[in-house]
Amino acid sequence: MLASPESRQSAVSAPPPLPDPARTALFLDVDGTLAELRDQPSQVIVPASTVAVLGRLHTALHGAVVILSGRSGSGIDELLRPLALPYGANHGAERRDLTGRIHRIDPPPGLPAALEALRQGAAGWDGVLVEPKPLGVAVHYRMAPDRGEAVHKLVQAVAARHAGQFDVQPGKMVFELKPRGVDKGGALREFMRGTVLADRIPVMAGDDLTDESAFAAAQEAGGFGIKVGTGDSIAPWRLSGPADLARWLGALCAKSGL
């Protein structure tokens, strides 16, 4: 491992080290990590200055900058325009590799029925947003925090009607149906199997429960995770928020000579 804190308590308060850019594969979440969270996903904006740093890092790391997000691939590209970075979208169910080739699993057959059931179940719940995705459905309750338990029960019930097709993924003020067995940890491992990244050390930054599997995968491969924001995490290092991460990415860019 590149660096390891002496204890979990010291880890959660310590800033992450700057790894060797020539040996690093950088994996980044979007919402809450590169960009501040908003009431609705459509309101999220990645600062232009952060996009510029990502572009320079993509050059400095010879393409080894990968986005891992619950968003769709097209949604990632829209936020990071004009960049077209490699990604593991939909929690890794859709990947664009370093050559630009897209790899995508088939949608669960029960997805249309699950979406309709969630829409019907949440009808009349003011502030609850049902977000259809290409391979799943997210139900957000950020604008209706008192509905969290009800949303959880609804999503679990719908998943149970389609046994073996979906996992229920909790997150920050959201519960999501995603394809069974898909997570960001698996996506990171798949990217690291590629010849371009095989000799590099993965560093993963993320803010939510969805990122924990990727933190674990990075650490298994000799790298480390960076927890962005508050909350328990297995990641050994922490930054306070997207602005703090942007500064760290800028410092890594400077270390690379760009």
Q: Tell me if 150 sits within 8 A of 125, measured CB to CB.
A: yes
Strands of 102-104's sheet, edge to edge? 102-104, 94-96, 87-89, 65-68, 24-28, 201-206, 224-228, 237-239
5 band by pLDDT with thresholds 50, 70 and 90: very low
| Tens of pLDDT, residues 52-111 | 999 999 999 999 999 999 999 999 999 999 999 999 999 999 999 999 999 999 999 999
Residue 200 reports pLDDT greater than 50? yes
- Rounded CA-CA distance 140/39 in Å is 9
Domain 110-179, CATH among 2.130.10.10, 3.40.50.410, 3.30.70.1020, 3.40.50.150: 3.30.70.1020
Would you state the pLDDT for residue 174? 97
Average pLDDT over residues 146-153: 98
- Rounded CA-CA distance 147/90 in Å is 24
Would you state the pLDDT for residue 196? 86
> Could you tell me what percent of the chain has a pLDDT over 70?
95
Average pLDDT over residues 5-28: 74
For residue 247, the SS3 value is helix
Mean pLDDT rounded to a whole number for the chain: 93
Would you state the pLDDT for residue 71? 96
Residue 12 reports pLDDT greater than 60? no
DSSP string, 62-95: TT-EEEE-SS-HHHHHHHHTT----EEEGGGTEE
The answer to whether residue 29 is catalytic is yes
Would you state the pLDDT for residue 257? 85
Residue boundaries of the structural domains of the chain:
21-105+182-256, 110-179
Task: Single out the residue of 211, 258, 246, 210 nearest to residue 48, CA to CA.
Answer: 246
Residue type, position 107, single letter: P
**Catalytic annotation, pick one of 29, 31, 207, 211:** 29
205 band by pLDDT with thresholds 50, 70 and 90: very high
The CATH fold assigned to 21-105+182-256 is: Rossmann fold (3.40.50)
CA torsion, ordered 135, 136, 142, 145, to nearest 10 deg: -170
Would you state the pLDDT for residue 217? 98
Average pLDDT over residues 140-154: 97
